[in-house]
Amino acid sequence: MENIITETEEMSVGVNAEKTDVKSNVLGESNIELLMDVSLRVTVELGRTRMKLAQILELQHGTVVELDWLAGDPVDIFVNDRMVAHGEVVVVDDKFGVRITEMVSPNHEKANY
């Protein structure tokens, strides 16, 4: 009976591999347009700080919270909570923006463009 189970498992792996190949062809580069309207959350992190609860309760309008990054330091750009780039803060028509200066690969290796 063990031989039958082994043969069945081998056959099922072959079938799964074929199904994966079909899916790859369906979502190939030619159909990438299907994903172009998907919304993603983009976050720019200017810095961080740690505060005690008592300090947070004392916050009020006009309070300045000091961050651990210096003015002019590169900011981190995240897409859906995954860091994708570093950039610099710019002002465009009285609004803040970010100029991307460096892309970050999934394993956090820097890739300048």
> With bands split at pLDDT 50, 70 and 90, how would you rate the model's confidence at 29?
low
**Average pLDDT of span 14-26:** 44
What does DSSP say about strands 75-79 and 42-45: parallel, antiparallel, or unpaired? antiparallel
Instruction: Lowest mean pLDDT of 2-11, 20-29, 47-56, 98-107, name the range.
Output: 2-11
Neighbours of 98 (CB within 10 A): 19
**Six token digits for residue 110:** 């820097």
Query: Measured between alpha carbons, how far is 52 from 58 in angstroms, rounded to an integer?
Result: 10
The pTM for the full model equals 0.58
pLDDT above 50: residue 14: no
Q: How far is CA 76 from CA 60, 106, 108, in A?
A: 27, 14, 12
- How far apart CA 53 and CA 4 sit, in angstroms, is 64
Q: Residue 21 above 50 pLDDT?
A: no
More confident position, 56 or 15? 56
Residue 103 pLDDT greater than 80, yes or no = yes
Residues whose CB falls within 8 Å of the CB of residue 62, separated by 6 or more in sequence, listed in order: none
pLDDT tens, position by position, 37-95: 899 999 999 889 999 999 999 999 999 999 888 888 899 999 999 999 999 999 889 89
Joined tokens for residue 59: 């916050």
4, pLDDT greater than 80? no
